[in-house]
Structure 1
Amino acid sequence: MTDINSSANPTAHHATRAFIERAALMLRAENVRKTFTLHGQGGIGIEALAGVSLDVERGECVVLVGPSGAGKSTLLRCLYGNYLASGGSIAIRDDNAPLQHLDITGAAPHDVLRLRRNVVGYVSQFLRVIPRVSTRDLVAAPLVARGVAEDEANTRAETLLARLNVPQRLWSLAPATFSGGEQQRVNIARGLIARHRVLLLDEPTASLDAENREVVSSLIVEAREQGAAIVGVFHDEDTRERVATRRLPLAAPRTRTPLGVAA
């Protein structure tokens, strides 16, 4: 884990004070930027995020809104550490860290993995299918990784799968041949089962019908009411209206420049 010298890093100092003074604060992003460089096209830089900041506390659901290309999914991937931000900082509460938070933009990979296991959950609209692993085991895996007994983890997985209307006959099967909606519901169950304190949700209801969207919305609201800090992207207005406590508008960045040339 990176040791932050607050006297040399004003941003880190502000984050440290915020996490110490605000017990409900779970996530802080400050001036997050992301640029993708197309080396095969003359070093053109595609600016995906141009300085996004937000704080998220326990019991909040911040919904990202904006047009296609505004960087909503990119921001979620930066918050999770799948993308390394090109600038700015992202800090997530980590009670096991000396400063009560982890700056994932400079963290060691093993610290990011530990944070994902214990604090941060991520749900996308796509399920990463693992061959020959049953649906039940796939959903239970995040609990088993935390040390929960396998029988208890499987029972909780079955309860969640039943609530998400995944037929019992599918629980012992690998989900590679499931429909898109069934796979998405399995993915949601896997993402929600561990009750992470921070949840990042990227279009989790995109392939679902109205009935199952309502079930997922209810689960998200329950997680929020139980104290989860949530940042999400949702494709339909009804879901946004149901789950959001506030919205963060994002606008598409305006520049595409050769690498090294200021916009």
Structure 2
Amino acid sequence: MDNISLTGLKEPCVWNSLIFHAVENLSVDIMHDILEGVCHYDFLIILKRFVVDMKYFTLENLNFRMKTFNYSSLESKNKPPPIEENFDFLNKAKFKMSASEMLCFARYFGLFVGDLVPKADKGWQLYIILREIIDIIFSSSVCSQKVILLKVLITDHHEVYISDIFKGRLKPKHHHMVHYPYIMSQVGPLKNLWSMRFESKHKESKTTANVTSSRRNITLTLSIKHQLKLCYKFLSNIIYDDKIFMGPGEIVKLDTLIYYDSFLKMSYPLI
């Protein structure tokens, strides 16, 4: 169709002649769709059912378990903050959690309260489906079986979400999930497309902006500081800090372990 008034297209996209094609190269952001969207929607109705409706546990119990949980060294900086004990599940749209904190919360929620919730509960089933979806879309590899399973899980998730028990309304971010299996089959792991690393880079400038007293031209201030830091790295030949800091510990040789023989049988030769 050559009618510009109907399509708004005057000429082919300049990027189509390069590696990126405007139509064929699809992209989604699982950070905004899942961690800052679907997870919040799901846990609002899941916790409402567990805490308010069924009274399996209280928010005080949940907060205590979250606080005393033994997080790994990688997750210690991302542990979720406590939830207000007077939290309004009906009128609140989101929890006060960052994307990384929500990812940590979703991963360990089953360990927080799994012993308090009946496994046949619909809220628990919704969480298990969401947890399996997170495992697949945050995976570093893709295969045809994962794509097929993801498609089934997303269908099951949406059906449970809008069921008579929860009566949820699907949001646009729920619709984005429907396209995940196809996009995974075309471009690979969705984790390679998310904007988490860009957000991490932006955090540096946002932190500087919050402590800068000048408001005359804040973008110029941030640009100057960014370029000075980059110049310092170039002049000092230090692009990345390759120093590894380790805490207190001890070196243990594998052949001194009790199960060393079993380990040899299970291990694979290095290529």
Whether TM-score is above 0.5 comes out as: no
TM-score by length of 2: 0.30
The structure with the larger Rg is 2
Q: Relative contact order (alpha carbons < 8 A, sep ≥ 6): 1 or 2 greater?
A: 1
